Amino acid sequence: MSISNIVKERLARRIAGEISLSNDPGKTMRKWREIFHVSQVTLAEKLGVSPSVISDYESGRRKSPGAKTVKRFVNILLTIDEENGGQIISAFGRLMGVEIPTDIILDIRDFASPVKMDHFCEAINAQPVACEELLEQDVYGYTIIDGGLAMRELSGEAFTKLFEASVQRTLIFTNISTGRLPLVAIRGSQEKPSLIVLHGVRKIDSMVTELARKERILLAVSFIEDIESLIQKLRKLNPLT
């Protein structure tokens, strides 16, 4: 069994588990479909059903998909990703050594080609607040984290793993008040993200900007309205085709 197959199976189990245990399985299915950047139409095609089926699930008209449906759904998503080179599977693979609950990950993506940090920040209405001199450099992907959940559930070890998986990438923390915790956690990490974006901060802390400067990480604060728009804007940035 190849390493990527192991990652694939673990990811499959996690997605299936998350759907089955969700209070709103349809919403969770949508989340995963969107993480895999598959349209309802394409998904329906591959499943051999009409698009309305997918919509009915996601909108909650069908509330409790059967095990068979969940299985087919998960397998198709993973197959589609494999056909496209397995980018999403491998992005998750990097996070797998330590068990990071998938529900803290709101989105994850590798770019088709590098994106300049200033372009990235612009896209999500983010103001740099430390290490602005790095704005010309590139990032190769991003991970959006539910900061509140992460604060509560992630161990130090898991944080380290998250940073290691984010080299040359952007880490976006939503749902946080000051941004202290992630920046304290990062202190002294060997491997770390190139760009950290905070979203939903109430007040920007001088301690936080100082830490970012010490670690030489470009820190930015996004003023985009809500998390939904944040995800949408980034999806449109540098698509595969």
Partner DNA sequence: TATATAGTTCAACAATTGCTGTAATGAATA
Partner DNA sequence: TATTCATTACAGCAATTGTTGAACTATATA
**What is the C-alpha R_g of the chain?**
18
Interatomic CA distance for residues 101 and 84, integer angstroms: 25
167-170-176 Cα angle (round to 5): 120
Site membership for DNA, residue 51 (CB under 7 A): yes
Q: Smaller CB distance to a copy of itself: residue 18 or 107?
A: 18
Q: Which long-range contacts (CB under 8 A, 24 or more apart) does 12-19 make?
A: 12/74, 12/75, 12/78, 14/102, 15/74, 15/77, 15/102, 16/70, 16/71, 16/74, 18/102, 18/103, 19/65, 19/70, 19/73, 19/74
Interatomic CA distance for residues 115 and 235, integer angstroms: 13
Q: Which of 4, 61, 85, 99: binder of a copy of itself (CB under 8 A)?
A: 99
Return the one option of a copy of itself, DNA, none that residue 55 interacts with (CB less than 5 to 8 A, by type).
DNA
Q: Which of 49, 51, 71, 107: binder of a copy of itself (CB under 8 A)?
A: 71
Q: Smaller CB distance to a copy of itself: residue 21 or 41?
A: 21
Interatomic CA distance for residues 66 and 183, integer angstroms: 42
Q: Which of 23, 66, 190, 206: binder of DNA (CB under 7 A)?
A: 66
Site membership for a copy of itself, residue 66 (CB under 8 A): yes
Site membership for DNA, residue 56 (CB under 7 A): yes
Return the one option of DNA, a copy of itself, none that residue 16 interacts with (CB less than 5 to 8 A, by type).
a copy of itself
Site membership for DNA, residue 65 (CB under 7 A): yes
Q: What residues between 117 and 176 interact with a copy of itself by CB under 8 A?
A: 152-153
Burial class from Cβ neighbours inside 10 Å (0-12, 13-18, 19+) for residue 72 reads middle
Binding region for DNA (CB under 7 A): 39-42, 47-56, 58-59, 61-66, 68-69
Using CB under 8 A, list all residues that contact a copy of itself.
1, 6, 9-10, 12-22, 25, 63-71, 74, 96-99, 101, 152-153
